[in-house]
């Protein structure tokens, strides 16, 4: 699985932002019909926190805290969740950025100002989700000496402490 690229995330954000701005400008120039509840930024922040909490056990295992075995399937799923969060955060940040770009000229209208501030909050929360996804994906990378999935590159599956369970990575296929 290839890691997320900054250029790809930037392209996703810019393309969705421009598309959102153009479509809204044609369909609804005042952006009145666009639903934007106050719960959107709150839920995006909660989602970013949950992505970080899912990635924490993998990070701890990579840092050497190998008191419990790490399921390889769980680590792979964590990477997939992190990448999905990164791409989703980029797409939502672009979309809310397009909405904000549409609302900026109407800032003197009080109702539009409220929607603009809510759109900025949603865009910031989307960027937080993007950052959480990228960070957790980085946490899931194996150190150079662990490329085979075992600590220290040892073929025996032991971390050298004498215990057969310390540092073992359980393979779900085995």
**pLDDT tens readout for residues 47-94:** 999 999 999 988 888 888 888 887 888 888 999 999 999 999 999 999
Rounded to an integer, what distance in angstroms lies between the CA atom of residue 103 and that of residue 123? Answer: 13
Residue 161: pLDDT over 80: no
Residue 81: which region, alpha, beta or left (left: phi > 0; alpha: psi -120 to 50)?
Answer: alpha
H or E, element range at 109: none
Span 131-154, average pLDDT = 73
Tell me what pLDDT residue 163 has: 39
Tell me what pLDDT residue 145 has: 67
- pLDDT per position as a tens digit, 95-129: 999 999 998 988 887 778 888 999 999 999 999 99
Q: Where are the domains of the chain?
A: 38-143
- pLDDT per position as a tens digit, 9-60: 999 999 999 999 999 989 988 877 788 899 999 999 999 999 999 999 888 8
- Report residue 149's pLDDT band, with 50, 70 and 90 as the boundaries: low
Residue 173: pLDDT over 60: no
Residue 170: pLDDT over 60: no
Rounded to an integer, what distance in angstroms lies between the CA atom of residue 122 and that of residue 100? Answer: 10
pTM of the model: 0.78
Residue 162: pLDDT over 70: no
Rounded to an integer, what distance in angstroms lies between the CA atom of residue 29 and that of residue 87? Answer: 27
With beta carbons less than 8 A apart as the criterion, state whether 147 and 153 touch: yes
Alpha helices of the chain — where are they, by DSSP H? 6-27, 39-62, 72-103, 110-139
Residue 174: pLDDT over 70: no
């Amino acid at each position: 699985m290839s890691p997320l690229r900054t250029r790809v995330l930037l392209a996703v954000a810019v393309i969705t932002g421009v598309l959102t701005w153009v479509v809204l400008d044609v369909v609804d120039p005042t952006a009145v019909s666009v639903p934007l509840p106050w719960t959107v930024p709150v839920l995006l922040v909660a989602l970013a926190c949950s992505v970080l909490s899912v990635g924490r056990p993998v990070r701890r295992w990579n840092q050497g805290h190998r008191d419990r075995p790490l399921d390889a399937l769980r680590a792979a799923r964590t990477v997939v969740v992190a990448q999905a969060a990164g791409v989703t955060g980029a797409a939502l940040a672009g979309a809310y950025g397009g909405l904000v770009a549409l609302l900026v000229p109407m800032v003197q209208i009080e109702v539009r100002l409220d929607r603009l501030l809510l759109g900025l909050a949603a865009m910031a929360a989307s960027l937080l989700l993007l950052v959480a996804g990228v960070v957790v994906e980085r946490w899931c990378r194996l150190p150079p000496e662990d490329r085979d999935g075992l600590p220290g590159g040892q073929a025996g599956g032991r971390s050298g402490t004498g215990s057969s369970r310390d540092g073992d990575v359980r393979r779900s296929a085995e």
